[in-house]
Chains A and B, each alone.
Chain A
């Protein structure tokens, strides 16, 4: 019984660690992305009010639920605003945004924080994981922010912070209308030689390393085989000594044996009439069909 428990424990432990790691990895992919401190003539909330806001961005390729995590403007109080659990809207899709209003009226709903950003001084903002201890992201918004100009990352999720004259709540800070990678290839590798050389080098490298590894594995296997044969006192015979025809004959015999081909069949050939009464239970058309085998 104890052994079974130990085994179960051994199996469950990595699974638990894996689940925890995946969960942690997902929340840690959230970033504070854009902040508007003074909202005079900008985005209006669902109550028709204007107030500052904080935008979070999911940098990952998976959906992240920020419910249960914390937002704060106080270094000494990481759990200042617990984001409510159970709201489907706290699930942030891959590479998408979620907006929180800094109006100080948390009773207005999930996305209304219980603190207000102060335009007169610099504002500290932090996002904590659901344990309230793991800091996911923090930012200090400089003092003297101008009205309707936000402070955000130049490109979503990237490190560089700038003043954004084009305020972009819940959308990309920088709109990309081209594929940078493809443009790069068009400009720098119009002949395709760069791609060919790089890709073929990688393909060769991969298979070359695989070749080298299995060359060593083969040597080891042959050596071990010889040692084993010596131990058992058997004479080893290289497979190369047997001709292809002999191998083919052995293979055919084994195949036929496995495929149930017999010289003597079990069925009996008779000229007597065998009568079987019909019943739906013995009908072929109602029976289960085997998968066809060639």
Chain B
């Protein structure tokens, strides 16, 4: 009797052990957990995009707890599990437009409206997307996969998730992680290329103070912006529609509560869910492969191309501008839509060469134009390759 009880307990213990994370762990899980911890460290220690890196980093930890595949409905890829239900906002692509709604409700387009020529810098920086697309094609990726990888160069996490969920869902985890990582690393990636491509004289250019923009102009902007961009590229509608809608909520002046909800609790909620589920989707078994390494390399390259294209475009543009209208090429990097980090980089680098030359407001122009530009570019890729 006693012997059978011990044997029963022993068998049970053995069975329990097969369910533990330790028993099911593979080296890949530990690699991913280390990556998650690095994300959390970077966010807390250096404050690199903490709002994103903390949820993503912790999500990586959640997604890489090994478990026995016994239909317990706990994994993010198991249909009906809680994580899987939360992940549907990513796979069906409705988190990114809601993020864009919040971005629209918190973005002030005044800098862009007061100096609309800065929009063209936002367009030029999209070369990063297509430069990466060309290289990805040469590396053997399919056109749809290359398009999804290229969008990392737009430096816009929600857009990258939205497009990759449509064009190459199998790569979405790697693309999202890559996009957010490089957005966080903008302070490291961009400055060397900004210095390399500008002369000391160019870095000292002082730009005219932006004029005061009337509220009518601010109200007209999202309406015309929506009609124009979406009539041109209807496939960008989910992102652009929500971006401009959020902005109208802000600028109309009569929907303050809605605007505050969109840029406050709503965007916070979606950011948490998006970050943690994207992080959790990087299960080592799905994530650790050669393609992910290639995607990371291409992502870095696309950021570099975008930065260089923005800076070089400003230099080219300056040839045609009068002396008093010249643009400081140090704001060229902010054409990538990592708002407001890349604009902040323009400010920091600019202040190093002239402590009284404040470029932040000027850089916000191309920065928000970059948001529009990358959403348009995503719409084009979606239209061509879906």
A residues in contact (CB < 8 Å) with B: 179, 181-182, 185-186, 189-193, 195-196, 198-200, 202-211, 213-215, 217-218, 221-222, 225, 238-240, 242, 244, 247, 291
Provide the residues of chain B in CB contact with A179, threshold 8 Å: 144
Given A202-B232, A203-B123, A240:B208 Cβ within 8 A: yes
Provide the residues of chain A in CB contact with B13, threshold 8 Å: none
Q: Does chain A have a CB within 8 A of B245?
A: no
Q: How many A-B pairs fall under 8 Å by CB?
A: 133
Interface contact A207-B122, CB-CB below 8 Å:
yes
Interface contact A218-B228, CB-CB below 8 Å:
no
Cα-based distance from A291 to B214 in the complex (angstroms): 31
Provide the residues of chain B in CB contact with A190, threshold 8 Å: 137
Provide the residues of chain B in CB contact with A182, threshold 8 Å: 142-144, 385
Interface contact A202-B380, CB-CB below 8 Å:
yes
Task: Name the residue of chain A whose CB is nearest to the CB of B265.
Answer: A291
Q: How far is the CB of A284 from chain B (nearest CB, A)?
A: 22
Interface contact B376-A192, CB-CB below 8 Å:
no
Interface contact A240-B209, CB-CB below 8 Å:
yes
Please name 15 pairs of A and B residues whose Cβ atoms are closer than 8 Å in the assembled complex, sorted by A.
A182-B142, A185-B384, A192-B130, A192-B134, A192-B143, A199-B380, A202-B233, A203-B373, A204-B123, A206-B229, A207-B120, A214-B112, A221-B213, A222-B211, A242-B209
Provide the residues of chain B in CB contact with A239, threshold 8 Å: 209-212
Contact of B130 among A200, A210, A222 (CB under 8 A): A200
Task: Name the residue of chain B whose CB is nearest to the CB of A216.
Answer: B116
Provide the residues of chain B in CB contact with A221, threshold 8 Å: 213-214, 216-217
Contact of A225 among B137, B214, B224, B265 (CB under 8 A): B214
Cα-based distance from A172 to B159 in the complex (angstroms): 33
Interface contact A195-B130, CB-CB below 8 Å:
yes
Contact of A192 among B112, B146, B220, B386 (CB under 8 A): B146
Given A200-B130, A210-B229, A213-B228, A240:B123 Cβ within 8 A: no
Within B192-212, the residues touching A (CB, 8 Å) are 208-212
Provide the residues of chain B in CB contact with A214, threshold 8 Å: 112-113, 116, 119, 217, 221, 224
Within B336-386, the residues touching A (CB, 8 Å) are 356, 358, 369, 372-373, 376-377, 380-381, 384-386
Interface contact A218-B217, CB-CB below 8 Å:
yes
Interface contact B130-A211, CB-CB below 8 Å:
no
Q: Does chain A have a CB within 8 A of B333?
A: no
Cα-based distance from A193 to B225 in the complex (angstroms): 28
Contact of B233 among A206, A215, A242 (CB under 8 A): A206
Contact of A191 among B134, B213, B265, B384 (CB under 8 A): B134
Task: Name the residue of chain B whose CB is nearest to the CB of A224.
Answer: B214
Contact of A203 among B209, B216, B376, B384 (CB under 8 A): B376
B residues in contact (CB < 8 Å) with A: 112-114, 116-117, 119-120, 122-124, 126-127, 129-131, 133-134, 137-138, 142-144, 146-147, 208-214, 216-217, 220-221, 224-225, 228-229, 232-233, 264-265, 356, 358, 369, 372-373, 376-377, 380-381, 384-386
Contact of A210 among B127, B217, B228 (CB under 8 A): B228
Provide the residues of chain B in CB contact with A217, threshold 8 Å: 113, 217, 220
Q: How far is the CB of A287 from chain B (nearest CB, A)?
A: 18
Q: How far is the CB of A229 from chain B (nearest CB, A)?
A: 12
Cα-based distance from A195 to B132 in the complex (angstroms): 12
20 additional A-B pairs beyond A208-B123, A221-B213, beta carbons within 8 Å, are A182-B144, A185-B143, A185-B384, A195-B133, A195-B384, A196-B127, A199-B129, A199-B377, A200-B123, A204-B120, A210-B224, A211-B116, A213-B224, A213-B228, A214-B217, A214-B224, A215-B117, A218-B114, A221-B214, A222-B211
Given A209-B228, A210-B225, A240-B208, A199:B130 Cβ within 8 A: yes
Interface contact A181-B385, CB-CB below 8 Å:
yes
Q: How far is the CB of B341 from chain A (nearest CB, A)?
A: 17
Q: How far is the CB of B163 from chain A (nearest CB, A)?
A: 13
Which of A207, A211, A222 has most B Cβ within 10 Å?
Answer: A207
Q: How far is the CB of B25 from chain A (nearest CB, A)?
A: 37
Interface contact B211-A186, CB-CB below 8 Å:
no
Interface contact A208-B228, CB-CB below 8 Å:
no
Cα-based distance from A222 to B115 in the complex (angstroms): 13
Q: How far is the CB of A139 from chain B (nearest CB, A)?
A: 31
Provide the residues of chain A in CB contact with B265, threshold 8 Å: 291
Cα-based distance from A225 to B123 in the complex (angstroms): 30
Interface contact A186-B232, CB-CB below 8 Å:
no
Interface contact A186-B380, CB-CB below 8 Å:
no
Task: Name the residue of chain B whose CB is nearest to the CB of A292.
Answer: B268
Q: How far is the CB of A228 from chain B (nearest CB, A)?
A: 10
Q: How far is the CB of B142 from chain A (nearest CB, A)?
A: 7
Q: How far is the CB of A63 from chain B (nearest CB, A)?
A: 16
Provide the residues of chain A in CB contact with B212, threshold 8 Å: 239
Task: Name the residue of chain A whose CB is nearest to the CB of B361.
Answer: A244
Interface contact B126-A192, CB-CB below 8 Å:
no
Q: How far is the CB of A233 from chain B (nearest CB, A)?
A: 20
Provide the residues of chain B in CB contact with A191, threshold 8 Å: 134, 137-138
Q: How far is the CB of B301 from chain A (nearest CB, A)?
A: 14
Task: Name the residue of chain B whose CB is nearest to the CB of A196.
Answer: B130
Task: Name the residue of chain B whose CB is nearest to the CB of A248.
Answer: B358
Provide the residues of chain A in CB contact with B131, threshold 8 Å: 196
Given A202-B233, A239-B209, A240-B208, A210:B119 Cβ within 8 A: yes
Cα-based distance from A221 to B378 in the complex (angstroms): 33
Q: How far is the CB of B289 from chain A (nearest CB, A)?
A: 22
Given A182-B143, A199-B130, A207-B122, A240:B117 Cβ within 8 A: no
Q: How far is the CB of A69 from chain B (nearest CB, A)?
A: 29
Shortest Cβ-Cβ A-B pairs, 3 listed: A192-B134, A196-B130, A214-B116
